[in-house]
Amino acid sequence: MHGAETLGGIIIALAIIIFISPFLSNLLKLPISIVEMVLGALGGAVGILHSQPIFDGVAEFGFLYLMLLAGMEVDLRELAKERLSFYLRGGLFLLLLYLFSALFVKITGYPQVFLVIFSLISIGLMLAIQQELGKSDWLSLALKVGVLGELWSIIVFSGLNAYFEYGLGKKFFLILGLLVGILVGVWFLFQGVRALFWWFPQIKYRLMPAGIDKYHQDIRVTASLFFIIIVGLMSLHIDVVLGAFLVGVFVKTFFSHNHELEAKLAPFGFGLMIPLFFIHVGTTLNFHYLSLTLLLHSLEIMLVSIGIRYLAGFLFPMEGLTRLKFALSLSMPLTLMIATATIAWKHQFIDDYWYNVLVTTAILEVVVVMLTLKYIAGKRKSPNPTPHSHRSKGEQ
């Protein structure tokens, strides 16, 4: 009975936060994801919100849903059109992140796991940026580079998790082999489906009809793929984030004729599931460890993360302010950072203090990045045109 009452209190608190967040976001001129995390942190601090199996599970599902939507922003046919130079720059960009991270860790004496943490990239929260600011060329480039970084970060995270769990034994190499095998299998699957749909294009229209469909078959196909892949990866002890992302990529690449699908999925995600994830992230902040020293460490980690991305961003032709926005957008590996901190803490590679530093950093990065990008976007907006403001080409 007590458990039911506790769950009921959590549900009511979540309902209130979800309801009032848009109003507070408009009132305070803050991105709604920040409002949700702050309210989650406050709810956790006063004891209204706390870890509970159903709440934890729904929040994790919210993140996987966010990764599904993130994958739907990636069309492999468009990526395949990119020149070799893009992939060379993207690979060198990732390499530079690790070199800069290794240099900083060597100089400062930070724990070795920070070599990975500084270099993590996740594109999930780029959708929150796109939701706030709209689509743009620099964000499109960041998404493409982010896809490479996300895949590599998940591979590194899975390898790190296996290393923490099993050491450099047979099990470690078995997990790595499985991961490589899955990625190779996915590549062959994509090639096979592409050939199938090329020879028999009617199949994709049967699976996912365009236009009005009273059975909502597009939702059914996407949901079926989503859950099958997630359960399959869970059974293999492989991180499920990769699966959610690849399902989105698959749907976007092969069923792009259905223009309504993303518009159907997004409202449920941004209206319910993703807010629950952001609120849950806020509750993970432990105010007991909060101190000036902790905040300074978090600020240092955040600035280094943004700084090394800005420096590596010189590989891509863009002007200074655009490069800063590019670096900022790639500096929010929220859940990957918390997940990496969690496994490092569980296996005693970092202590309680550094774990809370990383949780604080993960939240701080989202707050700072979203506010900074929104501020830059506001400053760059041109004033409303007036008859007197128009000048001829010669006058300019």
Domain of 216, CATH number, reads 1.20.1530.20
Counting the structural domains of the chain, the total is: 1
Give the 3-state secondary structure of residue 56: helix
Domain assignment present for residue 312? The answer is: yes
C-alpha pair distances (Å), 11 with each of 48, 324, 379: 10, 39, 39
Domain range for 96 is 55-378
pLDDT at 320: 84
Helix ranges (H only) for 137-210 are 137-166, 170-199, 202-207
Domain assignment present for residue 293? The answer is: yes
**329 contacts 132 by C-beta, under 8 angstroms:** no
pLDDT at 40: 92
pLDDT at 363: 84
pLDDT at 312: 94
Q: Which two tokens stand for residue 81?
A: 């059109």
State pTM to two decimals: 0.78
Domain assignment present for residue 389? The answer is: no
Tell me how far apart the alpha carbons of residues 174 and 177 are, in angstroms, rounded to a whole number. Answer: 5
322: number of Cβ within 10 Å:
17
Domain assignment present for residue 45? The answer is: no
Domain assignment present for residue 17? The answer is: no
HSE (side-chain half, CA atoms, 13 Å) at 54: 10
Which residue is it, tokens 């699908």?
Answer: 261
Domain assignment present for residue 40? The answer is: no
pLDDT tens, the chain, 396 aa long: 455 668 888 999 999 999 999 999 889 877 788 889 889 989 998 989 988 889 989 998 988 898 888 788 777 777 777 888 889 999 999 999 999 999 999 998 888 889 999 999 988 778 778 777 777 888 888 988 988 888 888 788 878 877 877 777 787 788 788 888 888 888 888 889 889 988 988 888 888 887 777 778 888 888 999 999 889 888 877 768 778 888 888 888 888 777 788 888 888 888 889 899 889 988 887 788 888 999 999 999 999 999 999 999 999 988 888 999 999 999 988 778 887 888 888 888 888 889 889 988 988 898 888 888 888 877 665 555 444 444 444 443
Domain assignment present for residue 44? The answer is: no
Domain assignment present for residue 250? The answer is: yes
pLDDT at 396: 37
Dihedral sign for Cα atoms in the order 147, 139, 58, 271: negative
pLDDT at 383: 52
Give the 3-state secondary structure of residue 300: helix
Helix ranges (H only) for the chain are 2-28, 32-45, 53-71, 76-80, 84-108, 114-117, 126-133, 137-166, 170-199, 202-207, 217-235, 241-254, 261-268, 274-283, 292-312, 320-329, 334-346, 352-380
C-alpha pair distances (Å), 134 with each of 67, 75, 126, 128, 367: 18, 18, 11, 10, 18
